[in-house]
């Protein structure tokens, strides 16, 4: 079987020759060990700062060439996610980036007062102050007009299209769509440090009619835009919005059913019905209370089943693999801070536990994240190869 056939057979409730392996993302420090030089591929902060400095083409070329080089060297990875941040959709070639003022070694401020800070732990930039949170009070009237559809510039897809051209014949390519509409934060964002996360969540209580109107508008817009964002040759759609912390969902299951589920079902239905593609869902955190809603949503695979957030992949596989394919098995925390012996043991246990009966994709419980020990990654690969055969 090819990698593509292997994953397709799992999605079709068939048992393949080997357990398929995929990662939602593989961050730059591991990629650099494999390709032998520095890269912008999955280097989120480095890429953003490159854009600020006017090096858009250099950054995007690195995403494309280094990503292709990496996956050629790692031929046993069956799933290539061409929908991950800093490895997929690119800014258009003629985009005019604003260069922020550098406040100190780790902090930058834009002309509008937005402040970003670099995190050493995640090698990412986070908005720590957003002066626009709560600036406008929305009403349902703001979303009455039909959405204006503007096709994206084709240069946005040069990385995705290059991955499809390089690997589309034999690898399973997860690609973009016009976007997920899940927990929609009206007037806010998922960057907690900027204040927008808390503000957006409060709108579900303080301004529910406007939230629902905004969600309907976003769904209509994205359903129309899918035809531009879904690329010929990709095998699935990848969505990566989180719905929970390690303690539980951001909103109650009842609120999720009221505010999020109809939008998700519409988006999934649009992709299934018009494009015939599966939807692969990445969601960190403790989503135990949302599992039945994931079934109703129609997701085809669920990735990032986080052990450290009290998610039990064995139970999820037993209860839900008739509905979606569980994808995970090796704790990202163990890859970062565990020993090689511990990683080897966890890989072996994962395959012994989840492989029987099929309907399983191997991978980490999140991604091959920044800080993963290279030796741990290579031990994971070695032990997986020893035990992946059905």
> For residue 194, what pLDDT is reported?
67
Q: Look at residue 191 in the predicted model and tell me its pLDDT.
A: 73
Q: What is the pLDDT of residues 125-166, one digit of tens each?
A: 999 999 999 889 999 999 999 999 999 999 999 999 999 999
Distance from chain centroid for Cα 283 = 8
Give the pLDDT confidence of 200-245 residue by residue, as tens digits.
999 999 999 999 999 999 999 999 999 999 999 999 999 999 999 9
Provide the pLDDT confidence category of residue 193 given band limits of 50, 70 and 90.
Answer: low
pLDDT tens, position by position, 85-97: 999 999 999 999 9
Architecture per CATH, domain 3-387, reads as Alpha-Beta Barrel (3.20)
What's the rounded mean pLDDT across residues 359-378? 98
Q: Which residues contact 223 (CB under 8 A, 6 or more apart)?
A: 178, 266, 267, 270
Q: Name the band, by pLDDT with cuts 50, 70 and 90, for residue 246.
A: very high
Q: What's the pLDDT at 291?
A: 98
∠ Cα 246 252 253 (to 5°): 100
The pLDDT tens digits for 261-304 are 999 999 999 999 999 999 999 999 999 999 999 999 999 999 99
- List the domain boundaries for the chain: 3-387
What is the tens place of the pLDDT at every residue in 42-88? Answer: 999 999 999 999 999 999 999 999 999 999 999 999 999 999 999 99
For residue 325, give the DSSP letter. Answer: E
CA distance 313 to 363: 12
Question: pTM value?
Answer: 0.96
Long-range contacts of 42-51 (CB under 8 A, 24+ apart): 42/84, 42/85, 42/86, 42/87, 43/86, 43/123, 44/85, 44/86, 44/122, 44/123, 44/124, 44/125, 45/118, 45/119, 45/123, 45/124, 45/125, 46/123, 47/86, 48/125, 49/125, 51/91, 51/97
């Amino acid at each position: 079987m090819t990698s593509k056939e292997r994953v397709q057979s799992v999605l079709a409730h068939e048992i393949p020759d080997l357990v398929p392996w995929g990662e939602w993302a593989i961050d730059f420090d591991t990629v650099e060990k494999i390709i032998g030089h520095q890269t912008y591929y999955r280097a989120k902060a480095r890429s953003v700062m490159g854009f600020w400095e006017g090096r858009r083409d250099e950054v995007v070329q690195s995403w494309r060439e280094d990503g292709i080089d990496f996956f050629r060297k790692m031929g046993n990875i069956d799933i290539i996610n061409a929908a991950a941040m800093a490895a997929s959709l690119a800014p258009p070639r003629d985009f005019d980036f604003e260069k922020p003022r550098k406040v100190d070694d780790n902090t930058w401020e834009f002309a509008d007062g937005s402040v970003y800070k670099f995190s050493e732990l995640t090698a990412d930039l986070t908005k720590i102050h957003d002066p626009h949170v709560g600036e406008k009070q929305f009403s349902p009237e703001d979303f009455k007009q039909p959405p204006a559809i503007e096709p994206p510039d084709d240069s946005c897809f040069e990385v995705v299209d290059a991955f499809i051209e390089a690997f589309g014949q034999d690898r399973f390519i997860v690609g973009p769509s016009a976007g997920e509409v899940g927990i929609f934060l009206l007037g806010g964002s998922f960057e907690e440090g900027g204040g927008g996360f808390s503000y957006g969540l409060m709108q579900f209580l303080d301004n529910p009619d406007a939230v629902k109107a905004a969600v309907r508008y976003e769904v209509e817009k994205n359903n129309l835009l899918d035809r531009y964002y879904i690329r010929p040759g990709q095998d699935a759609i990848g969505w990566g919005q989180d719905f929970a912390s390690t303690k539980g969902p951001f909103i109650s299951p009842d609120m999720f059913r009221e505010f999020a589920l109809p939008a998700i079902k519409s988006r999934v239905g649009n992709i299934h019905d018009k494009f015939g593609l599966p939807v692969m869902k990445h969601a960190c955190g403790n989503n135990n209370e949302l599992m039945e809603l994931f079934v109703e949503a129609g997701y085809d695979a669920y990735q990032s089943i986080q052990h450290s957030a009290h998610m039990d992949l064995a139970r999820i596989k037993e209860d839900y693999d008739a509905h979606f394919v569980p994808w995970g098995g090796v704790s990202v925390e163990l890859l970062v801070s565990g020993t090689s012996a511990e990683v080897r043991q966890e890989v072996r246990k994962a395959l012994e536990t989840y492989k029987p009966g099929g309907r399983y994709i191997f991978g980490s419980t999140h991604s091959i994240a920044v800080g993963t020990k290279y030796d741990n990654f290579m031990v994971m690969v070695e032990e997986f190869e020893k035990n992946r055969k059905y």
